[in-house]
Amino acid sequence: MAHSLEQYKQAFTNARRPPGESSDLAQTREAALNRFLTLGFPTTRDEEWRFTSVAPIAERAFALPQTSPAARHRDIAPLRSADVFGAELVFVDGRLAPALSTADALPRGVRVGSLGDFTAGHADGIASHLARVAQFDRRPFVAFNTAFFADGAYIHVPAHTIVEKPIHVVFVSTGETNGRPAMSHPRVLAVLGDDSQAAVVESYAGPDGAEYFTNVVTEIVLGQNAVLDHYKLQHESAQAYHVGTIVLETGRSASCTSHSISLGGALVRNDVIAILAGEGGECTLNGLYLADGQRLIDNHTTIDHAMPHCGSREIYKGILADRARGVFNGKIIVRPDAQKTDAKQTNRALLLSEDAQVNSKPELEIFANDVKCTHGAAVGQLDQDAVFYLRSRGLDLAEARHLLIHAFAGDVLNRMPLVPVRNGVEEVLQRQLAHALAAAA
């Protein structure tokens, strides 16, 4: 066993778990650890990881923070906006910080809180969904997370309940523990009952310049006719490693939109797996990523049409500057039963320098015969005619470039229904873009 795996075996024994965890969960963790030790970290020989080497993660000795230093309010403040959200849970190094969290403005019966608290109390939904939606057999990072997650967010919306105000879960890393880069394994489980509706926003951040590792797993289950508007905003430090897996499962006629915004991180891998498990379900996956320097952002998505009459829409866009790299892999599976599937995938990348690159691959696996599936991919640079046109109207080169890049990103941003969230993302994007363009100039 590689040294790095051996150390995590040790860490597992010493890890602090939520009190009162069920023996079932303890067994699941044990199995997950063993699976992780067997699989090990993926290498580029693995097709799923062909363009993304996780060697920098595998080679570091990340430590589990045993006691979380209190994150400072002012570090978290920019991420929060209490008037927008009905509930805000702040997790520091993967553990809930109750003093920083609020959950007052929620309808009756809606549960939002620490997964640890609820697992101890055997809340409905947890035993039947946790570690079932996101299987770890073939996913080492999911296994890693399942073995180690200290806590996470549990969101349960009962049937026929509309949650008007969005729910925000914030995961903040403090960066270092005992002189070693810290790792955290946040977990999110969101269960929406039949005919319910909610919006959930996940935010990830850490101190500027800090090196740390976040490995998150999000499981989402939508009952019949349930509607979810989901956001993942990844604003980690530019030196951080971030691996995230979202698995969502839609019931009959349910509708889920998941927006994935990746503006931070040195090495980032996002997996989104949408399983359309009920007839007439719909899912929309939107993604936007920006990388500069030598950063790498990898987005892998899978939309699994398992039942008939389901629709999926997907648009991913990336902006790459300097020597940054992007990877996009969009798999669409149409199972034999999934007649009348209507799937559309678009993926575009904008390269701002000659050294930036993107590896992009659509993968369609279609086993039904009465389906509509389209995909399109384009990689290009800024339209020089457009740049000149804008300059001929008095805008300088930087303004013209900025405006065009912003327009490119706007195509994804404008699909985000939550305006305050969109504005927040725009702000970060502007800042990052200014940074990327200044470095390029």
Partner 1 sequence: MLKVRNLHARVAGREILRGIDLSMNRGEVHAIMGPNGSGKSTLARVLSGHPEYEVTDGEILFEGENLLEMEPEERARAGVFMAFQYPVEIPGVNNAYFLKAALNTMRRHRGEEELDAMEFMTLVRDRMKQLDVDETLLSRPVNEGFSGGEKKRNEIFQMAVLEPKLGVLDETDSGLDIDALKVVAHGVNAMRSADRSFLVVTHYQRLLNYIVPDFVHVLTDGRIVRSGSKELALELEEKGYGWLEEPVGSSKV
Q: State the residues that interact with partner 1 by CB under 8 A.
A: 383-386, 388-397, 399-400, 403-404, 406-408, 410-411
Report yes or no: 253 and 280 within 8 Å, Cβ to Cβ. yes
Q: Nearest 5 degrees, angle CA 307-CA 312-CA 314?
A: 150
CA pair distance 438, 422, nearest whole angstrom: 24
Closer to partner 1 at the Cβ: 17 or 406?
406
Rounded CA-CA distance 285/278 in Å is 18
Q: How far is the CB of 407 from partner 1 (least distance, A)?
A: 3
Which DSSP string corresponds to 234-287?
A: EE--TT-EEEEEEEEEE-TT-EEEEEEEE---SEEEEEEEEEE-STT-EEEEEE
Distance CA 254, CA 307 (A): 12
Six-digit token string for 280: 């007439």
Give the residue with the Cβ less far from partner 1, 107 or 410.
410
Smallest separation (angstroms) from partner 1 to the CB of 198: 30
Strand partners, 365: 333
Nearer to partner 1 by C-beta: 369 or 392? Answer: 392
Q: How far is the CB of 385 from partner 1 (least distance, A)?
A: 5
Report the residue number, 276 or 405, with the smaller CB distance to partner 1: 405
What is the rounded CA–CA span in Å between residue 240 and residue 235? Answer: 10
User: What are the tokens at 436?
Assistant: 């990327």
**Complete DSSP assignment for 351-375:** E-STT-EEEEEEEEEE--SS-EEEE
- Least distance in Å: CB of 390 to partner 1? 7
Residue closer to partner 1 (CB basis): 84 or 382: 382
Least separation in angstroms between CB 402 and partner 1: 10
State which residue, 207 or 410, has the beta carbon closest to partner 1.
Answer: 410
**Residue showing tokens 């044990």:** 30
What is the rounded distance in angstroms from the CA atom of residue 19 to the CA atom of residue 218?
A: 22
**DSSP states of 274-327 as a string?**
EEE-STT-EEEEEEEEEE-TT-EEEEEEEEEE-STT-EEEEEEEEEE-TT-EEE
Nearer to partner 1, 5 or 386 (CB): 386
Nearer to partner 1 (CB atom), residue 6 or residue 427: 427
Cβ-based nearer residue to partner 1, 21 or 399: 399
We find the least distance from the C-beta atom of residue 405 to partner 1, in angstroms, to be 10
Amino acid (one-letter) located at 146: T
* Residue 411 C-beta: closest distance to partner 1, Å: 6
- 230 sits in which H/E element: strand 227-235
Nearest to partner 1 of 58, 395 (CB atom): 395
Q: How far is the CB of 410 from partner 1 (least distance, A)?
A: 5
Which residues face 132 on adjacent strands?
Answer: none
Over the range 48-70, which residues count as b (16 or more CB within 10 Å of their CB) and which as e?
A: ebebbebeebeebebbbbeebee
Smallest distance from the beta carbon of 229 to partner 1, in angstroms?
22
CB of 249 to partner 1, least distance (A): 34
